[in-house]
Amino acid sequence: MLSAFLTHRTKPSGAPIKTAEGPLMTETLETPASHRRVRVWFGAHTIADHTATADLAVQYEEAMRRRFASLRVTSEPVLVDSTAEPGR
């Protein structure tokens, strides 16, 4: 399901960009991500990178946080190509 949202375009300062017609607006399409990318970071280097369905990614993230308690663990939504073959 695609959802369209109108958002105000902003300057680097965070102020809205104004035109003669009013604030500049941008339409964005958002697709819910069915997968998440979980990474474990050692400084600026990733030492683990795993993409899985949202349910499995949560379990993987929790396991990595327990295993690498002092390292940064990130989890980001990703769009997966439905035509990609498994293991690619």
Task: Return phi, psi of residue 58, to 5°.
Answer: -65, -45
d(CA 21, CA 1): 31
d(CA 86, CA 88): 6
Task: Return phi, psi of residue 61, to 5°.
Answer: -60, -45
**How many CB atoms are located within 10 Å of the residue 40 CB?**
20
Instruction: Tell me the pLDDT tens digit for each residue of 45-73.
Output: 999 999 999 999 999 999 999 999 999 99
d(CA 74, CA 42): 12
Nearest to 27 by CA among 9, 1, 10, 4: 4
Task: Judge whether residue 75 has pLDDT over 80.
Answer: yes
The tokens describing 62, both together, are 């929790």
Task: Judge whether residue 81 has pLDDT over 80.
Answer: no
Instruction: Tell me the pLDDT tens digit for each residue of 6-46.
Output: 444 555 666 666 666 666 555 555 566 789 999 999 999 99
Q: Where are the domains of the chain?
A: 1-32, 33-88
